[in-house]
Amino acid sequence: MLEPKLVQLTAGSAVLGLVLATGAVTLAGPWDSGQRTAERARAAAQARTGGADHHAPGPQRPAPAPAPSAPGVLTALAVPRAEAAPKPAAPPASLAAALGPLLADPGLGPLRTASVVDATTGGQLYGSGATTPMTPASTIKIATSAAALTALGPDHRIPTTAVAGPDAGRITLVGGGDPTLDRARLTALAADTARALRSRGVTAVTLTYDTSRYTGPERHPIGVNDNIAPVTALMTDEGRLNGSTAGPAPRSTDPAGDTARAFAALLGGHGVTTAGPPARARAPKKAVPLAKTWSEPLSALVERALTHSDNDLAEALARQTAIASGLPASFDGAGRAVAQRLRELRVPLGGARFADGSGLDRRDRLSAALLTALLARAADPARPHLRPVLTGLPVGGFSGTLADRYTAGSPGAAGAGLVRAKTGTLTGVNTLAGTVVTADGRLLAFAFLAGRTPSAATAQPALDRLASALVP
């Protein structure tokens, strides 16, 4: 196995310590390659899945460890700024000469904008229509993620809770908005709940389930679609019906009800019977907690959402941002909350519109300048809480939605292991936004947005060539 080649970086662009060669795949995030094993081991060590937790996390609760892909980044960021003076960035004139012809590729269609900035200084090195609002497709997940991390911090976890009414004869499964709740955690939660009930001498209950954490329509505006389940505060495995963990899949039309029915069956396996099928209802105001399970930390959720372009998780992040901001956890409230949190980061929001958190809605609007500004904020040593926005980006040729791009012999192959970027794809819309390591060890943030593209088959190679041109 080849050893990864690392470079010494400036403090401002220290995130580049991630990787410069084939070994980059091992640092691509906790949701691919060996990082899956690391994530599972860390989760087991923390007894995260289903442990009976009868109290909300407070000051005495141990803080979650950083996401597995983060240590190299966080270590590099500790280097004092004075020890690494900035190197000169690529001259704008040379970038214009390199990128101009590539941006004119007819495969990008008639609408194309671009922004390239020095992530250390935030200064723009190249721009073409950089402030023009465009349909961003899934690159909007960069904005959704930055907003969620700003509102909640990287250690935040989403709970799913079982509570009892005053007489313990009625229990309620309360969804907190965690779409990553899986069968294993639901099974452990049921076991803990049954144990708590039996300790009270209760073996027969009425089960209800509470999805009131979210408001507004559950169905995404695109309608029934394999790319996203109904957006509800209670679901298991993102409502996927075929056992897949990523990508399009047949979805349940009632993921909350399915989860509650599965929970009832699991309770029965532990000697607690339920009277009839579970019904949707709010938990009693004076409900007593029985058991609780927590999601992974927000840092890991952000990385998963970005690496695999997880639409369900992105919508959950947007709604968690709304809840933290005191706004309705609906499509509209989440959009307002994301914009509000991004204003705190002082990024250019001219013309921006957040119709959803995933980018499936064609009414979304972002500019290339906004995306590069967010990436530069995420590389800022003063904002370590935003680092998962960078560590979650797919690595060209290795992980996530870039695993089959930047490969040997493909357009832009020179960017393999050096380009980390979020992809965006809708019919007629193709986008790419991320970071690259330059030949002199600088971190550049880029965003290329194309509209009315003839096809992904022509647009994606053109975008890859643009990103790879930044690392000659």
Separation of alpha carbons 21 and 92, rounded Å:
26
Q: Is 309 a catalytic residue?
A: yes
Q: Is 295 a catalytic residue?
A: no
Give alpha helix (H) positions in 384-436: 388-391
DSSP reduced 3-state for 107: helix
Check 115, 138, 252, 399 and give the catalytic one: 138
Q: Is 141 a catalytic residue?
A: yes
Check 309, 330, 367, 399 and give the catalytic one: 309
In the 8-state DSSP scheme, what is residue 143?
H
Separation of alpha carbons 112 and 136, rounded Å:
11
Are β-strands 204-210 and 170-175 bridged in parallel, bridged antiparallel, or unpaired? Answer: parallel
- Residue 332 dihedral angles phi and psi, to the nearest 5°: -70, -50
E strand or H helix at 41: helix 35-45
- The DSSP line for 63-104 is PPPPPTT-HHHHHHHTS-GGGSPPPPPPPHHHHHHHHHHHHT
**In 165-295, where do the E strands start and end?**
170-175, 204-210, 273-274, 279-280, 288-294
Separation of alpha carbons 36 and 300, rounded Å:
11
Separation of alpha carbons 39 and 446, rounded Å:
29
Residues 6+ apart with CB under 8 A from 304: 29, 30, 31, 180, 296, 310, 313, 392
End-to-end CA separation in angstroms for the chain: 25
Residue with tokens 């022509």: 458
Catalytic residues: 138, 141, 309
